[in-house]
Amino acid sequence: ATLRVEFLIPSGGKTTKIFTEQPLGVVFRSRLPIEVQSVVPGSPAAQLGLKSGWKLWSINGKLVTGRKLSETHAMFVNAVAQLHQYMLVREAPLDAIAVEKLSTKLKMLNGIQVMSLLKQHGFHAHSTLFWVDNVERPKLQFEVHGHRKMGRPRLHTWYYIVGTVITGDASSTRRWAVERRLAHMRALLHDPIKQELGNKYNHHF
């Protein structure tokens, strides 16, 4: 599913943006004409280049001019609901640049808590080591969707990472997005996986 949104931009022209994921990462003003108030850094809206002040013109080809605010809101919500949803979207934790600080802030989950969280999203594990019998193992993947430099007084590169877990039969997909430094990815993702796999690490990687 996709969401096609057309905006009237300050120059007087129009531009169309196509969303494939939610949350969009855009905040609209609650008054007519409806316009973009702010955009969440690193979000799908930011990646598509949305700007404050853009006025909403149409939603999936349906004009919003002449409609009541409540009607447009309901139409927009219904359209967004059709998109794939991120389980979580978090901006760069600028107060936890160091690996140690981020590790403390995240409060690592234990195995039982991970199982409970996965179950909420339709992924059932028999134990912390095995999935439910007769069910194909889900697929876990990570992708880097760009980066940006932030921080004071020193700039650091933050990577926008999208994680996806897909059921074995591809009937369900859940996504989440976070911003992390390379040091975070190495210490909190790569190193634990390497330790867990032991001698099998070189076989897989």
- The residue to which tokens 């909190």 are assigned: 188
Burial 39-63 (b: 16+ CB within 10 A, else e): bbbbbbbbbbebeeebbbbbbeeee
pLDDT at 87: 66
Q: Which two tokens stand for residue 118?
A: 């996965």
How buried is residue 158: exposed, middle or buried, by Cβ count under 10 Å (0-12/13-18/19+)? buried
Least Cα distance to 36 among 50, 19, 22 occurs for 50
For the chain, the residue count is 205
Q: For 117-163, write each residue's pLDDT tens digit.
A: 888 777 888 888 888 877 777 888 898 877 888 888 889 999 988 88
pTM: 0.58
For residue 33, the number of C-alpha atoms closer than 13 Å in the C-beta half-sphere is 14
Average pLDDT score, the chain = 87
- At residue 2, the 3 state secondary structure works out as coil
Rounded-to-integer distance, Cα 102 and Cα 98, Å: 6
Q: Which two tokens stand for residue 176?
A: 């989440």
Burial 104-143 (b: 16+ CB within 10 A, else e): eeeeeeeeeeebeebeeeebebeeeeebeeeeeebeeeee
Q: For 36-78, write each residue's pLDDT tens digit.
A: 999 987 678 888 899 999 999 999 999 999 999 999 999 999 9
Which pLDDT band holds residue 89 (cuts at 50, 70, 90)?
low
111 versus 102: which is more confidently predicted?
102
